[in-house]
Amino acid sequence: MKENLSIDQKWRLILGPGADPEGSESLDEDGEKIDRALSLVYDDTKNDALRRSRVKLNEWLRDIREYFPPEKTFFLQKEAIERLRINQLLFEQETFEQLIPDIELIKTILNLKSQIPEDRLDDVKLMIRRYAEEVEKTIQWEIQNALFQHFSKGELSFHPPKRYVDWNKTIKRNLKNYQESLNTILIKKYYGHAMKSSGFPEIFIVVDSSASMSDSVIYSAIIASILAQIHTIKTTLILFDTDIADLSDQLDDVVDLLFHIELGGGTNINKALKYVKSKIQTPADSYVFLITDLFDNYSDRAVYDTVSELRADHVTIHCILSMDEKGSTSYNKALAQHLLKLDIPCYTSHPNQFSEVLAAALQKTTFSN
């Protein structure tokens, strides 16, 4: 919002026109636009104008983008969709082109996907694809690098291929061989790793699709699609509520993947874990990321017992309590405490942190927020 507004003007905008019926607190042209933008959402006497008029809706979308920072723009978009029930206008071209995609808008679109007109479907999917690509840009390289750093290294070698030489260690260990007359270090022994030749690791992204985990579902799907592009690992994406959806065969197209997501429903964590257990082929090379707030509709004890079985088989498990930008902290603390006793790390994670999460799991170490 404009920084040159006085305190009285800011309060006037917050409280609305009804707080100053005589118009004693004047606003300039920009202030008037901000006032109209807020009134169209929060002033009940004017709500019908936004419902009836595409033109006003377009103007409103442009105004909030101009006068409010991105996070406030996203919030006002969500408020208008929820409070004013403008779903029928959301997918019309002149409206849709003014929207700024964020996680809240993507969730709204996915929840309304059955209402998308056929002639608007391609544009809606293009918006989702661009949003997913923006998320990918921020995390893809770090994820790929974490995997390469871990799985490209085999046993310690003194004759590693050039690409696997650890140059920092090699130079440090050979400093004693410095030749002053030549002004150089003679490398008598190289340090590095041979290329790893073991089988493909298996990564399981297991996501609670209940309503409280909706952000986590979307980010996890994008992360799974990134992992699926790396052919030296096997990626499995499982969504669960009281049923299980294995979406592993849809990871090559993130948009189709997101459109197959159904948000909401109950939660049966143990059923999902049992399914994962049946799919694991090489336990020692299997990494399970259970993404859930641990609120189970059935039995915490059953969840604990199945996790214990997986741990006994030497499966690496991390429990991510939320994968979102807010760092949600509402979770089943009692079950989390029991899992911690099994050395199962339980934590929240920003999507941008997943490369660190992945590296910690691969190294069999604990990740800390």
Domain ranges of the chain: 7-100, 153-195, 202-362
Q: Which of 136-145, 225-234, 339-348, 357-366 has the highest mean pLDDT?
A: 339-348
pLDDT digits (tens, 9 = 90+) for 221-245: 999 999 998 877 899 999 999 999 9
Higher pLDDT residue, 260 or 152? 260
Pull the structure tokens for residue 127: 């918006």
Helix-then-strand count for the chain, H and E: 16, 10
pLDDT, residue 10, reads 67
pLDDT digits (tens, 9 = 90+) for 61-84: 677 777 777 677 777 877 777 776
pLDDT digits (tens, 9 = 90+) for 19-32: 565 665 666 777 77
Residue 12 predicted with pLDDT over 90: no
Q: Which CATH number applies to 202-362: 3.60.21.10, 1.20.1110.10, 3.40.50.410, 3.40.50.300?
A: 3.40.50.410
Query: Does pTM top 0.85 for this prediction?
Result: no
Q: Closest Cα to residue 237, out of 197, 273, 205, 282?
A: 205
User: d(Cα 209, Cα 245) in Å, to the nearest integer?
Assistant: 10
Length of the chain: 369
How remote is the C-alpha of 82 from its chain's centroid? 23
For the residues 311-326, what does the mean pLDDT come to? 93
pLDDT, residue 173, reads 83
pLDDT, residue 55, reads 46
User: What percent of the chain lies above the pLDDT cut of 70?
Assistant: 76
Output the average pLDDT for the chain.
81
Least confident piece of the model among 165-179, 221-235, 327-341: 165-179
